Amino acid sequence: ARIAVLISGTGRNLQALIEACADGRIDGHIVCVLSNRADAAGLERAQQVGIATEVLSHRDYESREAFDTAMIARLLSHTPDIVVMAGFMRILTPAFIAAFAGRMLNIHPSLLPRHPGLRTHEAVLAAGERKHGATVHFVTEELDGGPLIIQDELIVRADDDVMTLAQRVMSGIELKIYPQAVAWMARGELELAGRQVRFKGQIL
């Protein structure tokens, strides 16, 4: 499968996907990494292994629609089968979501449907919740609200702070579940059917 990855920052999830493609866990290859920020560290991770990169700054466009139209064109030039959002920090327009409907995944650092949006680790600590985690889901028009594919959780410790929690969610959960979900997609085992997800033909 041909995989495009969208980033805005560090690219730790991107790195995990690069490694999973390299060692065969994902039957596919990353055909392009697109960032809306020229200084995203993830761009270097891609360049180091010879993956094509694209930088499109949203500031160069007069509207969200114009930016997304340009992104669609840039992505389509790489003919991706799967579009993976890995820390891409822009809200997508309906036109963008429609262009890749059923082929686009996102990872979110919370146990969705709890805590959509930003600052999830803060929210979990502020609410005194015992469980936290991360979720991979199909991207639909609802922000962080698309059908869930895989989720894993951890127990919040009494001495956890935002840093330790973010670190444990990233290394213990995100970097494991995202390559797994993308591997299923690449093998054609996942399908979005309306609001439902089918895994190997069975409704999840």
Binding site for ligand GRF (CB under 6 A): 7, 9-14, 42, 86-87, 107-109, 170, 174
Cβ distance 137 to 185 under 8 Å?
A: no
Nearer to ligand GRF, 47 or 79 (CB): 47
The pairing of beta strand 82-85 with beta strand 196-199: unpaired
Question: Smallest gap, in angstroms, from Cβ of residue 174 to ligand GRF?
Answer: 6
- In the DSSP assignment, the letter for residue 170 is I
* 105 marked among binding-site residues: no
Question: Smallest gap, in angstroms, from Cβ of residue 200 to ligand GRF?
Answer: 26
**Backbone φ/ψ region at 135: left (φ over 0), alpha (ψ -120 to 50), beta:** beta
Going edge to edge, which strands form the sheet with 29-35? 53-55, 29-35, 2-7, 82-85, 104-108, 131-138, 148-155
Nearer to ligand GRF, 10 or 180 (CB): 10
Residue with the two structure tokens 């997800």: 197
Cβ distance 116 to 110 under 8 Å?
A: yes
Number of residue whose CB is nearest ligand GRF: 87
Known catalytic residue at 108: yes
Task: Work out the widest C-alpha separation in the chain, in whole angstroms.
Answer: 49
* Angstrom distance (rounded) from CA 160 to CA 50: 38
Using alpha carbons, select from 112, 102, 177 the residue that is nearest to residue 139: 102
* 51 marked among binding-site residues: no
* 64 marked among binding-site residues: yes
Question: Smallest gap, in angstroms, from Cβ of residue 159 to ligand GRF?
Answer: 21
Spot the catalytic one: 29, 58, 78, 108. Answer: 108
Question: Smallest gap, in angstroms, from Cβ of residue 87 to ligand GRF?
Answer: 3
* 90 marked among binding-site residues: yes
Nearer to ligand GRF, 39 or 76 (CB): 39
Nearer to ligand GRF, 80 or 133 (CB): 133
* 92 marked among binding-site residues: yes
The residues carrying an active-site annotation are 108
Annotated binding site for (6R)-10-formyltetrahydrofolate: 64, 89-92, 106
